[in-house]
A and B are shown apart, each in its own frame.
Chain A
Amino acid sequence: MEFSTLIWTTIGVILTLCVYSFLYKDNPFYKFAEHLVVGASAGYYLVIYYYNFIDPNVVRPVFQLEHGGQAIALGGFEWWMALIPGLLGLLLYARFFPKIAWVGRWPLGIYVGGYAGLGISPVMQARVIDQMRAASSPLASIVGPGEVVDPFAAVTNTALGFVIFAVMTYFLLAKRHLGSRGIAAMIGVIAASAVVGYGGYVVLTALSAANVVSTTSILLVVGLLGTLAYFFFSLRHTGLLGGLARIGIVFLMVGFGASFGYTVMSRISLLIGRVGFLIDWIGMFSS
């Protein structure tokens, strides 16, 4: 193994340990690494921006009349097209001179407005239209063609169908029929919820057996409806909307649970990566 690789890696190891010293408590070694990386990354970004963008797209076309290996004419269209945005870009730095700081707003206006305008339609397509299209497909399934339906999903989907119909009915009736009317009304409402829930369950099972609508599709739509209901602020959360919002919060919490698990996984992966790095470094000496 090359000596230079060992030196470089050892620098990395020392800096890694500096950062880990923060676990004991905040200390100068950690602060050293923290400030070093702030400076180094700023320098790195500056160099990368210069060589990848500013040099080939602004400096060379304007001063050396060359762009992407092609010669361009001084004062020609391409020359102006490199010069104007370059000058506009420089105007951004007017903010560091209080007297003319306002000049920096011109390029900023183009920049902020341009990016705002670019995003609108693709976001509508990606986050609304295509999601609507996916949500309205009646035979969504978590198994692809040729895969085996796993028993867990089949059972859970239909069972949840029951729960959802029951909860909805409960909230629908609870507003009007509960309150001060006592135990009898309560039992009545619960019984009605159970009956409707079972009815829903039967209908769902039949539909999915006949391959008209899959239970997954229905759950996805109900979950989406519930989530949107939870984030609907123009009406009070009572009655049907309240029921939907309750269902929504259940879906949201399970979704956040998944995020939680994955986030924990992510953090641990980062630690594993660093530990792997340290162990490989130790391994360098034995080879």
Chain B
Amino acid sequence: MLRRRLPLLLCFIAGLFMAVQYYVPHHSVQSAYETLLLWLQTLLAFAFLLGTVSLIRVHYHKIRNKAADRGFSLVMFAGLFAMLGLGFFHPSHHAPGSPFNLMFLNVQVPIEATMFSLLAFYVASAAFRAFRARTLEATLLLVAAAIVMLGRVPIGEMISSTIPEATRWILEVPNLAAKRGIMIGVGLGMMATSLKIILGIERAWMGGGD
């Protein structure tokens, strides 16, 4: 009861209330809604930090079990504690331009931004070695892609003024129609999933066990 039924019941009540309040402007309902919104925020904040706890556990176990790459787990902890130290104990942690933020801007920002910029190189290599016009579909796709890629950089305009015009047409007619179709289909899927969660048909969030 407490282990399986109660969570499903809480899920049902919270979901139903949040879905129904959208149509009920009465202040009794709206003030309950405002309260529940704040609760949801708090729960999300706590839930987000679950990931940090898991991270610490994984790397702690790696170090304790003397895993082969435990050196890098130490690097992870060094990064973690440096941030926590600057964030919680440095005297000016809570002011603009604090060392805490400087560490963010000069350690986290360069690494994360650079990791994704690696993809520019992989796109170029895949362009040469894997993107093939083997079917009618792939051909259409690549031709449209080439037009759009030219049409969105200044050099395309210099080659011919038709290229930016064609790009605009592709974006605002066929692209729009197709994306609208996908948008509707995906939207229906999202709502169906929400419904199944509220009614307890879909209960993957509960995890295994009893």
Contact = CB atoms under 8 A, between A and B. Distances in A.
A106 to B, nearest CB: 6
B179 to A, nearest CB: 6
A43 B82 contact: yes
A20 B111 CA distance: 10
A110 B146 contact: no
Contacts of B130: none
B190 interface: yes
Given A119-B190, A152-B166, A261-B144, A8 B114 contact: no
B67 interface: no
Interface stretch (A183-191, A200-208, A217-225, A235-243): A217-225
A156 interface: yes
A112 B95 CA distance: 35
Interface residues of B, number: 131
A117 B181 contact: no
Given A19-B111, A93-B50, A114-B18, A120 B195 contact: yes
The interface size bin for chain A is 35 or more
A5 B107 CA distance: 13
Nearest to B210: A102
Given A35-B76, A90-B46, A253 B144 contact: yes
B184 A152 contact: no
Contacts of A48: 87
B78 interface: yes
Interface string A1-41: 00000001101110110111011000000011111111111
Interface in A242-277: 248-265, 267-268, 270-271, 273-274, 277
A199 interface: no
Interface string A78-94: 00010011101110110
A251 B177 contact: yes
A195 interface: no
B38 interface: yes
A118 interface: yes
Task: Give me the 3 closest cross-chain CB pairs, A-B, nearest first.
Answer: A223-B177, A257-B144, A227-B181
Interface of A: 8-9, 11-13, 15-16, 18-20, 22-23, 31-51, 53-54, 57-58, 81, 84-86, 88-90, 92-93, 95-96, 101-102, 105-124, 126-128, 131, 134-135, 142, 150-153, 156-157, 216, 219-224, 226-228, 230-231, 248-265, 267-268, 270-271, 273-274, 277
27 contacts: A8-B106, A9-B106, A12-B105, A15-B114, A19-B110, A31-B72, A37-B115, A40-B103, A48-B87, A49-B45, A49-B48, A105-B206, A113-B11, A118-B40, A124-B191, A128-B184, A131-B184, A224-B181, A227-B177, A228-B185, A251-B174, A253-B141, A254-B174, A255-B174, A258-B170, A270-B113, A270-B119
